[in-house]
Amino acid sequence: MTKAEAIKVAVATAREGVTYSLKDGAVCPLCGARCPVVSSPRGEGALKVRYHRCNNAECVMGALGVSVKSVQREG
């Protein structure tokens, strides 16, 4: 996979939503760093949805302005 393809996949994953873990929070689908929450959690049925922003300086997700959606299934 080229870097451009990896970014495309990571952006798609970020839009779709990564799994939120009570222990580890949400991690960036591109660089794997833990992403700070930028919105308050919002309930969607039994799920809790949050938005995060990767602030790893080496990672392009933040530079691209892509928010990472997370979905909390437990609790």
The contact set with Zn ion (CB under 5 A) reads: 28, 30-31, 54, 56, 59, 61
Nearer to Zn ion, 1 or 46 (CB): 1
Q: Is there a contact between 65 and 11 (Cβ–Cβ < 8 Å)?
A: no
* Helix %, strand %, coil % of the chain (to 5): 25, 35, 45
Q: Least distance to Zn ion from the beta carbon of 42, Å?
A: 22
Q: Least distance to Zn ion from the beta carbon of 69, Å?
A: 14
Nearer to Zn ion, 7 or 30 (CB): 30
Q: Is there a contact between 38 and 51 (Cβ–Cβ < 8 Å)?
A: yes
